[in-house]
Amino acid sequence: MESRRGSVWVIAEQIDCRILSVSLQLIGHARKLADELETSVEVILLGDKIEGQTQQLFAAGADRVYLGNAPHLSFYQPEIYTEIIVKLAKERQPEIILIGSTSMGRELAPLVAARLETGLTAHSIDLLLDENKILEQRVPAYGGLLSIICPKRRPQMATIARGVFPIPELDEKRTGEIVLLDVPGEIPRRIQTLEIIREEPEGVPLESTPIVVAGGAGASDLAGWRIIAALAEALNAALGSTRPAVDEGWAGLETMIGQSGKMVSPELYIGVGLSGELQHMVGIVRAQVMVAINNDPKSPVFEQVDYGIVDDCREFIPLFIEKIKEYQGKQVTC
Ligand SMILES: Cc1cc2nc3c(=O)[nH]c(=O)nc-3n(C[C@H](O)[C@H](O)[C@H](O)COP(=O)(O)OP(=O)(O)OC[C@H]3O[C@@H](n4cnc5c(N)ncnc54)[C@H](O)[C@@H]3O)c2cc1C
C-alpha cells in the first residue's frame, strides 16, 4: 500500500544470518502504525548471504525489504551501516524509523538520527499515534509515562527494547518486494568489527524462567548481593538487577531489568532491596505475582506488588532460604 505519507521503517538486525526477535516484534508493531497511517512497512536488512531471511520479514508484516548483501556487511559495521541507511532515508523519506534497543541499535540509531538531523527517543516502552497521526513515543519519566513527539522533523525515530511488543503471528503466505541495495564497497572508516565473541550467559536466563529474583541498591555491598544471589539459586530463579546494582559492579549489565534493560514476564517476581522506580518496574509489568522485600515500610515498591515483606534483606533471606530448603521436595497444599 503506497500513500503520500512516508513509510514506517524497521532496521532489522541479524546475527549469523538469524533475525533477532526484536526485529520481528518491531515489524509487527510497525504494521499496526502503517495501517493507521495508510502507508507501508519497509525493512532494511544488511548482512552477508541473508536473502533467505527475507520471507520471515514479509511473514511478520513487511511490504518491502531493502536488502544489502555483501561480505563486508556480515557483521554490524557502524560507519558503513550508517552510510547506507542515511543515503536510503534521504532518497525515500520514511515517516518513522524504528530500531531495536540492542547493542547495535543503541549505537546506530543516534548515528543515523544525527546525520538526518532529526530527533530520537531512546528506550521507548510504547509507540502510538496521536490525533494528528504524530508518533507518541512513551518513556517512563518524572514518576509517570512521558510522551515525546517529533512534530516537525522527519523521520520520527525511536529505539525499543526486546519484549516491549509481542512477536506477531507469522503469515507465511505474505510476500513482498525485495529491493537490492547498491552497497558501497569499503569506505574509509575508523571503526571495524573484526569478530564477534559470544559470552555464555551465567546462571538461569532471565527471559525464559518462571521465577525472577531482582536485587537493588539495598544489597548495600557485594556480601549483601551474594545473599540475594543465594535466594535466586535456592529457588532455581534467574537473578536480575536494578541499575545501581550494575553501577556498583555486583551484577552484569545483561541482568538489568527495566526501561534500558530487559523486559521479563515470569510467573513470580521477587524484588529485593529496590524502591520500585518506574524505570525498573516497566520491565516486569507482565509478571504474574510480585513480591517485594524492603526494610522501609513506606517504600513505594509496596504499592506496586502483591505481597510485601518489611525486613532487612540480609537478615530475612537466610531464614527464608532455610524454609525453602525445608519445603523443597515436599508437596505444598495451599
Ligand atoms: C533514562 C533512565 C533509564 C533507566 N533505566 C533503568 C532500568 O532499565 N532499570 C533500572 O533498574 N533502573 C533504571 N534507571 C534508574 C532508576 O530510575 C532508579 O534509579 C533505579 O531503578 C533505582 O534502583 P534501586 O531501587 O535498586 O535503588 P534505590 O532507589 O536506591 O532503592 C533502594 C531500596 O532498597 C531499600 N533498602 C536499603 N537497605 C535495605 C536492606 N538492608 N534490606 C532491604 N531493603 C533495603 C531502600 O529502602 C530502598 O527502597 C533508569 C534511569 C533513567 C533516568
Class of domain 206-327: alpha beta
CA distance 264 to 285: 8
Contact 231, 253 (CB under 8 A): no
CA distance 234 to 254: 21
CA distance 70 to 52: 14
**Per-residue pLDDT at 161 exceeds 90:** no
Q: Does the beta carbon of 242 lie inside 6 Å of ligand 1?
A: yes
**Per-residue pLDDT at 88 exceeds 90:** yes
Ligand 1 atom with minimal separation from the 293 CA: 43
Task: State the pLDDT at residue 196.
Answer: 84
Q: For the sheet containing 8-11, what is the strand order?
A: 120-124, 156-160, 96-100, 8-11, 41-47, 64-69, 177-180
At 332, the pLDDT band (50, 70, 90 cuts) reads low
Contact 94, 7 (CB under 8 A): yes
Residue 224 has φ and ψ, to the nearest 5°, of: -65, -40
β-bridge pairing 8-11 and 41-47 = parallel
* Per-residue DSSP letter, 256: B
With CA atoms as reference, report the closest residue to 113 among 155, 160, 66, 79.
Answer: 155
With CA atoms as reference, report the closest residue to 108 among 89, 93, 129.
Answer: 89
Average pLDDT over residues 250-261: 92
> Which of 23-27, 167-171, 197-201 shows the lowest per-residue confidence on average (mean pLDDT)?
197-201
Each domain of the chain, given as residue ranges in start order, spans 8-180, 206-327
Closest residue to atom 37 of ligand 1, CA basis: 218
Fold of 8-180: Rossmann fold (3.40.50)
Task: State the pLDDT at residue 331.
Answer: 61
Contact 81, 108 (CB under 8 A): yes
- Return the H-helix or E-strand segment holding 104: helix 103-116
With CA atoms as reference, report the closest residue to 162 among 280, 17, 62, 21.
Answer: 21
Calculate the alpha carbon distances from 184 to 71, 88, 93, 96, 188 in Å.
12, 12, 20, 24, 11
Q: Quote the percentage of the chain above a pLDDT of 70.
A: 97
Task: State the pLDDT at residue 3.
Answer: 54
Higher pLDDT, 78 or 144: 78
With CA atoms as reference, report the closest residue to 294 among 218, 235, 238.
Answer: 218
pLDDT (tens digit per residue) in 55-64: 999 999 999 9
Distance 285 CA to ligand 1 centre (A): 16
> Which of 183-187, 225-229, 251-255, 303-307 shows the lowest per-residue confidence on average (mean pLDDT)?
183-187
Higher pLDDT, 194 or 203: 194
Task: State the pLDDT at residue 162.
Answer: 85
Q: Does the beta carbon of 296 lie inside 6 Å of ligand 1?
A: yes
CA distance 288 to 234: 20
Closest residue to atom 18 of ligand 1, CA basis: 277
Residues 76-81: contacts with CB under 8 Å, at least 24 apart: 76/13, 76/104, 76/108, 76/193, 77/189, 77/191, 77/192, 77/193, 78/107, 78/108, 78/111, 78/191, 79/187, 79/189, 79/190, 79/191, 80/184, 80/187, 80/189, 81/46, 81/108
pLDDT (tens digit per residue) in 263-318: 899 999 999 999 999 999 999 988 999 999 999 999 999 999 999 999 999 999 99
Contact 327, 293 (CB under 8 A): no
Distance 161 CA to ligand 1 centre (A): 19
Task: State the pLDDT at residue 142.
Answer: 82
Residue 259 grid coordinates: 526501561
> Which of 17-26, 42-51, 54-63, 197-206 shows the lowest per-residue confidence on average (mean pLDDT)?
197-206
